[in-house]
Amino acid sequence: MPRHASLLTFLAASRLYGFVHTENLEFPISLQMQLSSKCRSFIREGMITFAEMSFTMESNGLWISRQHPLRLVLASVCTFIFNLSHSQQITSMESSQLAAALQTVINKSVDGKKVYGASFALQNDSFSWAGSAGDIATGQQYFIASTTKLFTTAIILQLRNEGKLNLKDRISTYLDSSIWMGIHHLKGKEYSQELTIQHLLAHTSGLPDYFQDKGKNGKSLEEELVAGKDQYWSFEMAMERTRNMESLFIPGSKGKAHYSDANFQLLGKIIESITGEDYASNCKKRIIDPLGLQHTYLYDDAKDSLPKHLYYGTSPLPIPLAMTSFGADGGMVSNSADMLVFIQAFFKGTLFPEHYISELQEWNRIFSPMQSGVGIHLFKLPWLFNPTGAVPYFIGHSGLSGALAYYSPKENLFIVGTVNQVAHPDLSFRTMIKLALEVKKRS
């Protein structure tokens, strides 16, 4: 007997005697097609009839009993095969429709006024999609800015898993006093010696932000950059700028957090101190190579023109010197395909033990609607803007460049991408929300 006929006969007999519930079986699409063809041949040869198949369908799945003849049972299995094939066709059709709807979202996000190019990718269970529009092509590399902090967090957690550090350790354990001494002072008192790795990860250190907080000249580095003054700074320069600012609160003050790039500059230096290798090498050995990320690297050459240039409002914002300066707090380059691989590895236990994720979710408000956890952020719309709860919460990170990488545990949805716009980074969140709602609509 041909093998497909044998399989169908086996299924029929198994179903007759209660060995197998065929409605719970799954077959590859190619086998479904072959089995469907064999079912049709049974009909042509008179082994079963459409009437018998109709009976099995009308009986609402409760039609199998020991009293039914085997041909009726065989008819039920053929019905199952036909329904399975049809269901697969519907799923494929729905996937195509969803992909088209998602691309429409991206197309509309590029308005030529605020957004000139966008690239996003997402994964929801077995469904994956990537799309781009405007002046960013699919596969184009771009600056992920502070989304880099997820790479730094991942390496810190790997070192923890290797027993090389604990999050409660003071940073003075790993850094020379010339680095940390005098970096945290508040109302005439020195608190630098109290800083821990967890304080840095969670932005509960109280340290000012060397990049976005104002310096002695009354301007922030961010303000100088968007005004057209591209510049380079070293780690030492970033720390000196931090020393010259007043800290905001005592490290670990309950309910307090202040987003500071200085925190992740220090974490990058701790990584280098423990491993004896620079930050770029750690990223490559620990994350990029193991995950096979072909388009991801630390930007360290101002002459490198591979990443798409940023925009600030309607004008390009070429700041290569600054981009070589950020390092562990915001210097990575990637694309949406690589970032989708990375964000799944981050949250699903590939890079470090998955149970660590729950420990990172100690939230403090930093800027609405964002909350800071330990190395990750929570994006959750307040009830006023999400009264029905239609928009799920996301955990991950984003950057000033308009890049983001987030995961929705509730929907098992990963979304990454960029709108490549420094003046309106919020537009990446608006785009993420629209993409998530399209996925939910069809789930």
157: left (phi over 0), alpha (psi -120 to 50) or beta: alpha
Of how many residues is the chain composed?
443
Residue with tokens 């190579």: 289
Contact yes or no for 166/160 (Cβ under 8 A) = yes
Tokens of 311: 């925009």
* Structure confidence by residue, pLDDT tens digits, 120-147: 999 999 899 999 999 999 999 999 999 9
> What is the model's pLDDT at position 55?
39
% of the chain at pLDDT higher than 70: 79
Give every CB contact of residue 30 below 8 A, 6+ residues apart in sequence. none
* Structure confidence by residue, pLDDT tens digits, 381-410: 999 999 999 999 999 999 999 999 999 999
CA distances from residue 104 to 113, 130, 132, 434 in whole angstroms, order as listed: 18, 12, 10, 10
Tokens of 122: 């997402």
pTM: 0.81
Tokens of 371: 């909350």
Nearest-angstrom CA–CA distance, 9 and 5: 6
Give every CB contact of residue 38 below 8 A, 6+ residues apart in sequence. 2, 4, 5, 8
User: Which of the two residues, 339 and 60, has the higher pLDDT score?
Assistant: 339
